[in-house]
Amino acid sequence: MINPAYAQVAPAIDPGQRTSQTLTLARIRPGSRVLEFGPSTGYMTKWMKERLNCCVTAVEIDAAAARECAPYCERILVADADRLDFEGAFPEGSQFDAILFADVLEHLCDPGRVTRACKRLLRRDGSVVASVPNVSHAAVVVQLLMNRFEYRQTGLLDRTHLRFFTRDSILERFALDGYKVVFLDTLKTSARDTEFGIDLAPLHPALIEILRRNPDSETYQFVIEAKKAEDVSGPGLIAGQGEDMWRKLTAPVDPEEEHVRLRAEVDRLRGELSACREGELRLKAIENSKSYRVMRHLVTLFRALVPRSGRG
């Protein structure tokens, strides 16, 4: 596991806001015994202890962060999850109601090894709760089309990410490791509002249509709850969106839908043009006003009479 670069200020947890932290914590039952991987300085750990009355054991790679997190833990291990000796760290009988990976799996060399090792630590009907970034976000796709795959300090292409997930690949990951996903939620962010700041509007309409057909084109993160396969009677959530996406991408465009889409685009552009024209008229009105002309003459006179060095 690569040690993530922790923020200097821990993110505030506001239960009234829809964030990966609040969605993740909502999957933790009050009074649970929790095993938390990568707690950083303990902002979620503190919430679980003080608000949910949970007993938390944590595994943290960074010793300084672990010291800050320790007051909120029943037990904390300073260790690399990728190299952790699970048998030695958690002897027979160690059991937890929930195991938490909040933005952690993408930092692991072998996330499957860790989640497989965690199976024996889950009580019957216990849950693995995880949040992971979505690499199929439209912002990343556009970057790839521009021949770019540039790591950043934080975000979808965080420089410490070793693994990348889509909806299908994270579902397949848990299935391969003996789990069934029973809950999946998403956090949406437009391409413009990501760290890439990409405006899709200028792109070719055909490309915008392709991006639009991906239901996760604005999904920034997935929040998942999974249980041991033997504890779930039904099939759980299964992968298959990739095949559905291929059908959508290769399906002929419905002429009526395309007409509606193009009409909406024309209306949008007309609205922008109208706003520009209104702005231009307002600007001309200001420039033609008596007060503006007087002010312009005063500024010209000021510049002529007062040397540049004496203008303050």
User: Within 10 A of 236 (CB to CB), how many other CB atoms are there?
Assistant: 18
Task: Tell me which of 230, 250, 270 is where a domain ends.
Answer: 250
Please give the pLDDT value at position 268. 85
- The enclosing H or E element of 57 equals strand 55-60
The pLDDT, as a whole number, for residue 97 is 98
Domain match, 273 and 140 both: no
Give which of 216, 193, 214, 192 is closest to 203, Cα–Cα.
Answer: 192
Is 3 contained in some domain? no
Is residue 2, in this structure, part of any structural domain at all?
no
Report the alpha-carbon distance of residue 71 to residue 151 in Å, rounded.
34
Instruction: Chunk the chain into consecutive blocks of 10 residues (it has 312) and report each block's average pLDDT, rounded to whole numbers.
Output: 56 86 96 97 96 97 96 97 96 95 97 96 97 97 94 94 95 95 95 94 88 92 96 79 61 76 84 89 87 82 72 58
Whether residue 203 sits in one domain with residue 54: yes
Do residues 117 and 83 lie in contact, with contact meaning Cβ atoms separated by under 8 Å? Answer: no
Closest CA to 137 of 206, 76, 215, 74: 215
> Is residue 1 a part of any domain in this protein?
no
- Domain of residue 262: give its range: 255-310
Q: Are residues 136 and 174 in the same domain?
A: yes
Task: Note the pLDDT of residue 245.
Answer: 58
Which of 250, 267, 293 represents a domain boundary (last residue)? 250
pLDDT of residue 15: 85
Task: Please check whether residue 46 lies inside any domain of the structure.
Answer: yes
Task: Tell me whether residue 228 is in a domain.
Answer: yes
Domain tally for the chain? 2
Same domain, 235 and 297: no
Based on the domain organization, do 126 and 206 belong to the same domain? Answer: yes
| Predicted local distance difference test score (pLDDT) of residue 262 | 80
Q: Indicate whether 151 and 261 sit together in one domain.
A: no
Residues 173 and 281 in one domain: no
Report helix, strand and coil shares of the chain as percent, to nearest 5. Answer: 45, 20, 35
pLDDT of residue 200: 92
Give the CATH number for residue 223. Answer: 3.40.50.150
Same domain? 100 vs 211 = yes
Q: Flag whether 298 is in a domain.
A: yes
Kindly give the pairing relationship between strand 33-37 and strand 75-78.
unpaired
pTM: 0.76
Residue that is last in its domain, among 213, 234, 250:
250
